[in-house]
Amino acid sequence: MSNNEITIYTDGGCLGNPGPGGWAYVLTTASGQEVEASGFEADTTNNRMELTAVIEALKRAEALGSARIALYTDSQYVKNGITSWIRTWKVNGWRTSARQPVKNKEYWIALDALASRLAVSWHWVKGHSGIAGNERCDILVREAMEQVQ
């Protein structure tokens, strides 16, 4: 990590899909300060919780005034969506290549706005593979989902 980079791990999950869901992030500042946050929704989807985790984490990073952000997610949906698919969706009027409306459009719009203001490098990590930040997020997500029940 460079001396002015924030590192973020995010995760989201759902009991059933749709169902009760949780999201979480672990943010580490350049000075080594660690910030954790999580939340839940009573009726949501896995993808919405993955997106919410990233959106909330980037809001916090922006508030901290980060110069650069390294964001790690175990969601291919989020990583591919923001680094590749979103360009086509916007050109196609928020429709997929199959001409269907983009699911979770309001989340993607919010994420796109944040990402356009921040210097984010996007990284995919394999879930449940022993990566400390990802594992901690998974625990926080499960704890958040328990609050719903």
pLDDT digits (tens, 9 = 90+) for 121-149: 999 999 888 899 999 999 999 999 998 86
Active site residue 43: no
Active site residue 138: yes
Active site residue 11: yes
**Is domain 5-148 in CATH 3.30.420.10, yes or no?**
yes
Contacts of 122-128 with C-beta under 8 Å, sequence gap 24+, read 122/71, 122/73, 122/79, 122/82, 122/83, 123/70, 123/71, 123/72, 123/73, 123/79, 124/72, 124/73, 124/74, 124/75, 124/76, 124/79, 125/9, 125/72, 125/73, 125/74, 126/74, 127/11, 127/74
Active site residue 128: yes
Residue of 11, 13, 81, 133 marked catalytic: 11
Residue of 41, 50, 56, 81 marked catalytic: 50
> 106, 104, 88: which is closest to 96 by C-alpha?
88
Residue of 39, 74, 81, 133 marked catalytic: 74
9-39 confidence digits (pLDDT tens):
999 999 988 999 999 999 999 889 999 999 9
pLDDT band at 3 (very low <50, low <70, confident <90, very high): low
Active site residue 112: no
